[in-house]
Chain A
Amino acid sequence: MLTVRGISRSFGDHKVLDEVSFDVRPGRMTGFLGANGSGKTTTMRIVLGVLAAHGGAVSWKGAEVRPDNRPDFGYMPEERGLYPKMKVRDQITWLARLHGVDRETAQRNTEELLEDLELTGRAGDRLEELSLGNQQRVQIAAALVHDPDVLILDEPFSGLDPIAVETVLDVLRKRAANGVPVLFSSHQLAIVERLCDDVVIISKGRIVANGSREDLRTRHAGERYEIVVEQDAGWVRDVPGVTILDLDGPRAVFESAPQQVLRAALDRGEVRSFTPVVPTLDEIFKEVI
């Protein structure tokens, strides 16, 4: 598990991160959400050791991360970049070897990844000859080729068409299934909603929500319920302490006193459904930041 505890960082007088803490658990996809300028990239850079923290610590498997015991990171920076004039295959293999992978494994991993990312046909081309979408896939390959211990991906899906998103998603899920913790930032909430197991939401340098996706939704569900009965549900508004939010024939959305409402409903006849209303990530996001 990768643990971030109490990380702070300032640029000049501007405090960018304030006591940031969260976990990235093995085998899970953790979505890192935040508006532009909220501190996502700074956090990721600190986790990678590219930037120093002004306080706090990052730990891997319980031990504080230092330059000599860093886990092997797979990193995809926000500002994409590889060598424009280097051939795709050479470039990926070289990066794997720079991570300490031996030549044969590096070559094998490269071929497998290029195959998975549907880039085999472009392997001999120079990076600059590829379309931006394909360059993005090469960038993913660069982050994965050395079988990293931890994946840190800054906006891995931006700039990809829906089909490419699926391709990349498959590749990432495979890694997560093998027990690799994956932290990825995004501002595309729909993707995160569909994809991540855990969610960390950052706003103005502070963590404002943090937990598994289901957990978070339940926690932010509040006292809001939806009931559907046989007949008109207009009577719900007469139950003491209840606030009606929405009323539409047999369906009512209300806050507070759920048990009383349910009992009254059962007294009146059949209850078709009774559920706490779970907010979407989008709603939670807007609520917490």
Chain B
Amino acid sequence: MARASFSQATWLVAEREMKTLVGTKGFWIGFLFTVVGLFALTVLPTVFGGDDPKVAVVGSASQAVQGKALDVREVGSVQEAADLVRADDVEAAIVPDGAGIKVLALNDPPNSVIRQLVESPPVELLDASAVTSGQRSVTVIVFGLVFLMFGMGGAAIAQSTVTEKQTRIVEILVSTVPVRALLAGKILGHTILTLGQVVVLALAAPIALRVAGLGELLGVVAPALGWFIPFLMFGFVLISSMWAVAGALVSRQEDLGSTMGLVMIAVMGPYFGVQFFYENPAVLKVMSFVPFTAGVAMPVRLFAQQAAAWEALLSLAILAVTVVAILLVASRLYTGSLLQTGGRVKLSKAWAPAE
């Protein structure tokens, strides 16, 4: 008799999950939000921060600002210049002071203006890295946010599992295909969708960097981005199997909150961990090998050129082994809880062999 093979069943489930998710407004809003957010994060600082500081200049002081990167506005008197500073129309006023000049500012020394007026001594960097700390912190935020967005996106798996339990279509599904095919199909479908979004983002990133005038950073970002994708995908599978269990443990959408907590910690942990500790190489190094945080920590280290390729491969291997282990555990918990209805299924009961 005709019967869908395991792989056919898995693919059919995956296909349905993708169609369903792509058909929702929430999916597109979330994706759009991510794209726009990341563009804003990389492009906006140069748009807003790129203007020359505005200064008011009085009389002979104008010679001092010639050829400097300042937006100069000449005024007639010191009083007039001081008024402009008070009104916050200019950042500082440069006025004659005896033979030299004096800078008037409101309450903080205007460093961006002063830097233009002084002769800086030559600087030689002993640890010359291609990335500045500013670029690094942007990368940390970007990698962290992308991981967070997609990790939380996995909650759709929990929702679709609960929908099946709540409507009881799960009985028809379970009497038709193996439970493992259901789980595999859900994870596969959502992973493909996530990969698709990541590819779009990865293709958009160079454009964003060029627009931001950070084209030269591309050479540094590209390898880190290349590493980030496998880490993100493995990390996603890890988290999505947990989302599936979170969904299988409850019978109604309203109860989902009670099982989602642990998964949310697993998703947010890496984000906050790396945000807090990215300037601490020792902690970052440990985090780059711990499966849940590796997805953000290792690419950040690679970006900062703190990690060698073998470290990344090792971390990826640890992550892959963990993924397999968690998948096995999740598949047993999923099977054990999928047909149990009523309240929340205890983990121990879901784990117990079927009666």
Contacts and interface: CB of A to CB of B under 8 A. Distances in A.
Interface of A: 45, 48-52, 54, 67, 71-73, 75, 77, 79-86, 94-95, 97-102, 142, 146, 149
Interface residues of B, number: 29
Given A83-B163, A94-B12, A50 B2 contact: no
A83 B172 CA distance: 11
Of B1, B13, B173, B177, chain A has the most CB atoms within 10 Å of the CB of B1
Interface in B153-183: 163-164, 166-178
Given A51-B339, A71-B1, A72-B3, A95 B168 contact: no
Interface string B91-109: 0000000000000000000
B172 A100 contact: no
Nearest to A12: B355
Contacts of A146: 2
Nearest to B171: A77
Contact of A84 (B5, B167, B171): B167
Chain A interface secondary structure, helix, strand, loop or mixed? loop
Contacts of B168: 77, 79-81
Interface of B: 1-5, 8-9, 12-13, 16, 20, 163-164, 166-178, 339, 354-355
Contacts of B2: 72, 99-102, 146
Contacts of A142: 172
Contacts of A67: 178
Given A80-B168, A99-B4, A48 B175 contact: yes
Contacts of A51: 339
Given A72-B1, A75-B171, A81-B167, A100 B8 contact: yes
A146 B177 CA distance: 13
Of B164, B174, B339, chain A has the most CB atoms within 10 Å of the CB of B174
Contact of A98 (B20, B173, B354): B173
A50 B8 contact: no
B172 A95 contact: yes
Contacts of A94: 12, 16
A50 B174 contact: yes
Contacts of B177: 98
B328 to A, nearest CB: 19
27 contacts: A49-B175, A50-B175, A51-B339, A52-B354, A67-B178, A72-B1, A73-B176, A75-B171, A75-B176, A81-B168, A81-B170, A83-B20, A83-B164, A95-B172, A95-B176, A97-B4, A97-B12, A98-B4, A98-B13, A98-B177, A99-B2, A99-B176, A100-B1, A100-B2, A100-B3, A100-B8, A142-B172
